[in-house]
Each structure stands twice: as structure tokens, then as C-alpha cells.
């Protein structure tokens, strides 16, 4: 029996560590991934062409919905006069600032609450209430406190992201495999060693899940802040376009926001792959 297993092992090594069956499986997976990408692209193309034709033949009102070629013209004009970069950068800067501060402070608070059960029992009801509180209602208060500039917009993005980070990460810390924690305690490990060796590595997926949620929430907070008070940004363009009935400008801003949200999300995905690969 052992000789047979050894022969199989040597055969696998001889074939480049991939059996014929495993090679077929990998081929099917690559084909499946390719088909998914093709279908995603086809859906986008069909949607874009359908939208263009519906506007051209007046199935929908092009004044209200705009249409892809008009959106491309608007983007081109804004790129020529330098307005495109200005407004996109303003929104990106405010989003990343609020996201970074909110995610960082939320992670630190979650670690503190896990570290001290006493503090977690004190502050848990307040965190639950803050999570349930509609953050948009605090917009006018933030403007009064922080002024009618970028600080208030960043504050809105931070306020939305920090509570979600605390709750998701802290709950992940609490659900860490208790048998592993008990084993380390039995071996005399300190609280810091337990955190570094078990809690943090086991909750990396949870932390990055929180980051993926929060990058979108931070963008929402930024746009809401720009609705209330701003002189630049995609939220400002949406409000301005609605006020002067330039619906093509509104739709252009929405399309750019969609692209921006996707780019920011996949940056987090890329970072997650690198960190988890490095951790392993």
C-alpha cells in the first residue's frame, strides 16, 4: 500500500505536480472564469446600446435620462477645461480621508473593546444606539461644528464608516475560536500574544469585509456632505446639474461615481489578497 502511494507521489512530481484530472479541472475553472468575464462585458454592452437606442427613438425621454454618447461628450468637455479632474479628485480625497480615519479609529476602538471586557460592557449600548441613528440627520450639526468646508464632508464620511467598523470587527474578535484562545492561555500567553497569534490573523477576512463595506459607505457620506455644503465634487455637480436642469451633467456624475465606487472596492480586494498572501 505504501509503495503504491509512493508511486503515485512520484508520478505527480514527474508530471509537474499536476495530474491529468487536476489539469482538466483547472482548465474548466479557467474557462468558467473567462465565460463570466465575457457575460459581464456583454451585459454592459447590451445595457449601453439599449440605453442609447431607447433615447434615440424616444422610448425614454433623453432630456430626463440623457444617453451614453451625450455623457461621453460631457466627460470630454469637462476633461478639456480641467473640471473633470478637479471634481473627481475632490470627492476621492474626501472619501479616502474619511474612510482612512474612520477605519483606523474604528479598528483601534474594536481592539480596545476586545481587550477590556469592562469597557465593552460600558460602551456597547452607546455603540448600538449610534449605529441605529440616521447619520444624515447629523449633517447640519457637523456643518455648524466643523464649518462649511471639506472638514464637514470628511466628518460625515468618518461618522458613517467608524461605527460599522467597530461593530463588524469587534463582533469578529468575539467570535474567535475560543479553544485556540484557551490553549494559548493554558500555555501562559499574554493578552498581546493571543491577539497577535490568533485573534488578528483569524479576523483578517472580517477586517477586510468591514473595509469593503466602509469604502462604499464613506463615498455615500461624502456625496451627502457635498449635497449639503460644497463648491466642488461629484455631489456638487449632481446638485448643480439638477438645479439648472442639466440632466446630462447629473447622469455623467452618477456614472463617474459608479466607476469610482468599483475602483475603490477593487483596490481593497487587491490589498486583501496581498496582505493575506503575505500573512500565509
Read off the pLDDT of residues 99-110 as tens digits, 9 standing for 90 and up.
999 889 999 999
Position 96 pLDDT exceeds 70: yes
DSSP run (H or E) holding 188: none
- Angstrom distance (rounded) from CA 209 to CA 168: 8
DSSP run (H or E) holding 8: helix 2-14
Residue 59 phi, psi (nearest 5): -70, -35
pLDDT in tens, 243-265: 888 888 888 889 999 899 899 99
Helix (H, G, I), strand (E, B) or coil at 45: helix
Helix (H, G, I), strand (E, B) or coil at 66: coil
State residue 6's pLDDT score: 45
State residue 108's pLDDT score: 92
Cell of 34: 473567462
pLDDT band at 19 (very low <50, low <70, confident <90, very high): low
CA neighbor of 119 nearest in space, from 179, 175, 185, 166: 166
Question: Looking up cell 475553472, which residue turns up?
Answer: 29
pLDDT in tens, 177-221: 888 878 888 887 788 888 888 888 888 888 888 898 888 888 888
Q: What is the model's pTM?
A: 0.79
For residues 197 and 184, is the Cβ–Cβ distance under 8 A?
yes
pLDDT in tens, 76-89: 888 888 888 888 89
Cell of 20: 491529468
pLDDT band at 5 (very low <50, low <70, confident <90, very high): very low
- Region of poorest pLDDT, from 87-96, 133-142, 147-156: 133-142
- Angstrom distance (rounded) from CA 93 to CA 49: 33
State residue 199's pLDDT score: 84
For residues 63 and 118, is the Cβ–Cβ distance under 8 A?
no
Amino acid at each position: 500500500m505504501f509503495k503504491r502511494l509512493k508511486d503515485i507521489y512520484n508520478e505527480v512530481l514527474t508530471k509537474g505536480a499536476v495530474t491529468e484530472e487536476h489539469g482538466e479541472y483547472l482548465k474548466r475553472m479557467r474557462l468558467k472564469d473567462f465565460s463570466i468575464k465575457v457575460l459581464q462585458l456583454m451585459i454592459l454592452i447590451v445595457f449601453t446600446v439599449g440605453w442609447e437606442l431607447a433615447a434615440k427613438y424616444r422610448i425614454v425621454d433623453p432630456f430626463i435620462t440623457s444617453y451614453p454618447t451625450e455623457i461621453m461628450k460631457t466627460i470630454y468637455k469637462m476633461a478639456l477645461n480641467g473640471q473633470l479632474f478637479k471634481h473627481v479628485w475632490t470627492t476621492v480625497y474626501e472619501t479616502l480621508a474619511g474612510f482612512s480615519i474612520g477605519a483606523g479609529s474604528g479598528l483601534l476602538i474594536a481592539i480596545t473593546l476586545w481587550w477590556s471586557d469592562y469597557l465593552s460592557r460600558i460602551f456597547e449600548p452607546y455603540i448600538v444606539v449610534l449605529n441605529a441613528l440616521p447619520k444624515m440627520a447629523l449633517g447640519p450639526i457637523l456643518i455648524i461644528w466643523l464649518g462649511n468646508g471639506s472638514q464637514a464632508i470628511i466628518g460625515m464620511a468618518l461618522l458613517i464608516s467608524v461605527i460599522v467598523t467597530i461593530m463588524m470587527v469587534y463582533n469578529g474578535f468575539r467570535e474567535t475560536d475560543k479553544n485556540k484562545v484557551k490553549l494559548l492561555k493554558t500555555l501562559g500567553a499574554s493578552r498581546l500574544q493571543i491577539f497577535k497569534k490568533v485573534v488578528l490573523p483569524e479576523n483578517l477576512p472580517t477586517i477586510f469585509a468591514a473595509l469593503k463595506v466602509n469604502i462604499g459607505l464613506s463615498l455615500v457620506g461624502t456625496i451627502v456632505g457635498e449635497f449639503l455644503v460644497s463648491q466642488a465634487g461629484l455631489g456638487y455637480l449632481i446638485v448643480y446639474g439638477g438645479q439648472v436642469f442639466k440632466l446630462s451633467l447629473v447622469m455623467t456624475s452618477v456614472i463617474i461615481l459608479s466607476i469610482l465606487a468599483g475602483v475603490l472596492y477593487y483596490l481593497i480586494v487587491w490589498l486583501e489578497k496581498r496582505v493575506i498572501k503575505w500573512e500565509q
